Amino acid sequence: MDGQKTKVNSYRPNPIDASSIQMPEGWSYGENRDDDAKTTSGLDPCDELRDSEKVYDKTTSMETVKLIVKLGYRIEKGGHTL
């Protein structure tokens, strides 16, 4: 890496258990995918994802937030506005 600086990734995931949250269209977490019951096991803990999946998910999340703001919506928590 002649003359290139290496960026250190200081991001440390702190996942929140959202297994009880209903996903759009009534889907929720379940041990197996069941289309009739609308359950899926496709929600994996962050620490079990490959690095490429983490980068993809982080990029998708950030671009989604940017789009929401670009469309004129505000994201607020405790008095802080984005």
The half-sphere exposure of 58 on its side-chain side, counting CA atoms within 13 A, is 13
Residue 1 within any structural domain of the chain = no
Task: Dump pLDDT digits (tens) for 59-74.
Answer: 988 888 888 888 888 8
Total count of domains within the chain: 1
Where b means 16+ CB within 10 Å and e means fewer, 19-49 reads eeeeeeeebebeeeeeeeeebbeeeeeeeee
Q: Kindly tell me the number of DSSP H helices and DSSP E strands found in the chain.
A: 1, 4
Task: Dump pLDDT digits (tens) for 8-35.
Answer: 667 777 766 766 665 556 677 788 888 8
Residue 66: give the domain boundaries: 24-81
Residue 7 within any structural domain of the chain = no
Give the per-residue pLDDT at 48: 83
Look at the pTM and tell me if it is higher than 0.85: no
